[in-house]
C-alpha cells in the first residue's frame, strides 16, 4: 500500500518526466480521420477531447484503482459527481436504490431530491438494520445499494459484508463511498463492494487544495448474468454505434468505459488536469498522513470522552463506541481523524466553545492537514429549530472536529481552553 501510494499509476519511460506531466490540452492531434475514427468507435484507446478523458487524470485514476484493488477507475470534478455518475450509470427513470440512511448530507440531497426528480426512487435503511429489514427494502426495480464505509458526519461504520450479501442476493451491485477511511485504512472491494467512490477533496488531496472525485470498479460484478436489470451495459448503445459495453469490455472494463463514453461525454463533470496533479501530490503521502490523522483523532476522542463538559463522543476508535467492533473488522488500523461530540449546555455552550478555539478553524470542511471544527446548529443546519435538530441527530450542542496533522498535545490544549471558557 505504501509503495503504491508513492509510485502506482504513472510509470515514466526512459528520459520521461519523473513527476506526472500536466497535459494542459483540450484536444489531441491525429494524422488521419481513420485514426481518430477508431477512437470514436472505441476500437482503439487514446485521447481526443479532455471533456471525456485526459492522460494526467488517467495516471491518477490508475493509482486510485490500484490502491482500492479495482480494475478500472476515473476521476470526476467532485465527490458529488462521482456518486451521481456511479448511480446514474446503472439507474434510469423508474429505477430504485436502497441506501443507508447514514450518509453525507450532499449525497442525501442528491438522491432524495434531485434524482427523485429524474424518477429514481430511494428507500433508506438504517446502517444497523437486520438482514431481514435490509432484504425487505428491495423492490423488483432495485438497481443498486449505496452506503458510506464511515459516514460523514455521523461516524457510523457500514457492515460492508452484510450490505454486499444483500445486494448480490438481489442481483445488484454495492456502491461504497470510501472517502473517510481512504483505501489506506479500508478496502471495501475486499469485503464484497462492487463500485467504490471518493470525494478526493478530503484526505486523498488532504490539503484543502482541490475539489475532486473518483469512481473505482472492482471488475467483479457479472452484468450479463443480470442483463434484464442493466440494459445500459448489456444491450447495444445506439449512441455509440451499437456497442454492448459488457460484451466488449467485460466485467473488468464495462462500467468505467460506459461511464466515461456516455455520462462524461454528455454531462462533462471532468476534473481539470491541474487538480488531478494536486490530488496526486496528496496521494504520494496518504499512507504517512492517515495514521497521524487517526492518532490525533483517537487522542482527542479519549480526552473529550473523559471531560465533564462533554455528554458523549462519537468515534469508532473508542471502545465504548457502538461501532467499535465493526470498525475493528473493516479498518483494523483505525478509520479517520473526524470526531463528533455533544457539549452539555446546548447552543449557548457551543457558541462560547467555538469562539474560544484558536488552533481549530471554523470551516465547513473535513479531512484537511489543518484541524477544523463545525457546530452544525449555528452554521450548516442553522435554519432548523431545536426540535428539528434533535430529530436529525444533530443536537444544538453537537460539534464536529476534523483532527489535522498538528501536535496532539496542542490540539488537546486548544480544546481544553475552549471548554474551560464555557
Ligand X SMILES: *Cc1c(COP(=O)(O)O)cnc(C)c1O
Residues that bind ligand X (CB under 6 A): 78-80, 104, 106-107, 148, 152, 177, 179, 199, 201-202, 211, 213
DSSP codes, 325-363? HHHHHH-TT---SEEEEEETTHHHHHHHHHHT-SSSEE-
Where b means 16+ CB within 10 Å and e means fewer, 160-192 reads bebbbbbbbebbbbbbbbbbbbbbbbbbbbebb
Which residue, 109 or 239, is less far from ligand X as judged by CB? 109
Q: Of 6, 12, 25, which Cα lies nearest the Cα of 273? A: 25
Q: Quote the CA–CA distance of 375 and 420 in Å, as a whole number.
A: 17
- Minimum Å distance from CB 82 to ligand X? 7
CB of 149 to ligand X, least distance (A): 9
- The least distance separating ligand X from the CB of residue 356, rounded to whole angstroms, comes to 27
Nearer to ligand X, 107 or 142 (CB): 107
Sequence-distant (6+) residues with CB within 8 A of 54 are: 23, 25, 47, 270, 273, 276
- Closest distance between ligand X and the C-beta of residue 369, in Å? 16
CB neighbour class for 29 (10 Å; exposed up to 12, middle 13-18, buried from 19): exposed
| Choice between 172 and 215, CB closer to ligand X | 215
Cβ at position 153, least distance to ligand X in Å: 8
Nearer residue to ligand X within complex by CB, 148 or 342: 148
If the CB atoms of residues 20 and 204 are measured against ligand X, the closer one turns out to be 204
Ramachandran quadrant class, 346 (left: phi over 0; alpha: psi -120 to 50; beta: rest): left
Nearest CB to ligand X, comparing residues 107 and 244:
107
- Provide the minimum distance between the beta carbon of 315 and ligand X in the complex, in angstroms, as a whole number: 16
- Judged by beta carbon, residue 39 or residue 73, the one nearer ligand X is 73
Min dist CB 254 to ligand X, Å, is: 24
Contacts of 7 by beta carbon, 8 Å cutoff, 6+ apart: none
Q: Is 223 exposed, middle or buried (0-12, 13-18, 19+ CB in 10 A)?
A: buried
Contact 293/282 with Cβ under 8 angstroms?
no
Amino acid at each position: 500500500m505504501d509503495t503504491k501510494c508513492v509510485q502506482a499509476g504513472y510509470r515514466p519511460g526512459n528520459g520521461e518526466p519523473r513527476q506526472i506531466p500536466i497535459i494542459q490540452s483540450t484536444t489531441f492531434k491525429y494524422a488521419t480521420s481513420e485514426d481518430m475514427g477508431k477512437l470514436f468507435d472505441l476500437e482503439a484507446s487514446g485521447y481526443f477531447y479532455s471533456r471525456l478523458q485526459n492522460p494526467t487524470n488517467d495516471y491518477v485514476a490508475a493509482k486510485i484503482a490500484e490502491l482500492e484493488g479495482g480494475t478500472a477507475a476515473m476521476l470526476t470534478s467532485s465527490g458529488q459527481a462521482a456518486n451521481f455518475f456511479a448511480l446514474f450509470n446503472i439507474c434510469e427513470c423508474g429505477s430504485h436504490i436502497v441506501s443507508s440512511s447514514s450518509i453525507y448530507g450532499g449525497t442525501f440531497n442528491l438522491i432524495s431530491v434531485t434524482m427523485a426528480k429524474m424518477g429514481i426512487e430511494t428507500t433508506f435503511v438504517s446502517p444497523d438494520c437486520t438482514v431481514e429489514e435490509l432484504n425487505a427494502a428491495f423492490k423488483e426495480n432495485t438497481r443498486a445499494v449505496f452506503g458510506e464505509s464511515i459516514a460523514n458526519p455521523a461516524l457510523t461504520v457500514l457492515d460492508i459484508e452484510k450490505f454486499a450479501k444483500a445486494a448480490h442476493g438481489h442481483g445488484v451491485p454495492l456502491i461504497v463511498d470510501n472517502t473517510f477511511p481512504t483505501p489506506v485504512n479500508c478496502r471495501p472491494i475486499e469485503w464484497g463492494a462492487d463500485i467504490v467512490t471518493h470525494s478526493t477533496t478530503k484526505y486523498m488531496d488532504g490539503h484543502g487544495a482541490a475539489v475532486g472525485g473518483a469512481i473505482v470498479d472492482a471488475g467483479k460484478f457479472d452484468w450479463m448474468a443480470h442483463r434484464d436489470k442493466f440494459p445500459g451495459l448489456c444491450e447495444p448503445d445506439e449512441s455509440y454505434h451499437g456497442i454492448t459495453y459488457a460484451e466488449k469490455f467485460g466485467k473488468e472494463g464495462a462500467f468505467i468505459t460506459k461511464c466515461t463514453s456516455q455520462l462524461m461525454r454528455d454531462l462533462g463533470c471532468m476534473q481539470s488536469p491541474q487538480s488531478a496533479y494536486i490530488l496526486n501530490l496528496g496521494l504520494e503521502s496518504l499512507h504517512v498522513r492517515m495514521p497521524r490523522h487517526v492518532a490525533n483523532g483517537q487522542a482527542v476522542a479519549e480526552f473529550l470522552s473523559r471531560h465533564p463538559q462533554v455528554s458523549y463522543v462519537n468515534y469508532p476508535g473508542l471502545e465504548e463506541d457502538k461501532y467499535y467492533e465493526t470498525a475493528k473488522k473493516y479498518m483494523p488500523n483505525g478509520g479517520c481523524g473526524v470526531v463528533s461530540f455533544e457539549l452539555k449546555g446546548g447552543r449557548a455552550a457551543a457558541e462560547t466553545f467555538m469562539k474560544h478555539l484558536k488552533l481549530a478553524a471554523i470551516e465547513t470542511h473535513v479531512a484537511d492537514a489543518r484541524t477544523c471544527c463545525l457546530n452544525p446548529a449555528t452554521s450548516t443546519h442553522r435554519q432548523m429549530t431545536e426540535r428539528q435538530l434533535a430529530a436529525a441527530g444533530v443536537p444544538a450542542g453537537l460539534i464536529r472536529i476534523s483532527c489535522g496533522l498538528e501536535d496532539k498535545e496542542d490540539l488537546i490544549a486548544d480544546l481544553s481552553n475552549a471548554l474551560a471558557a464555557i
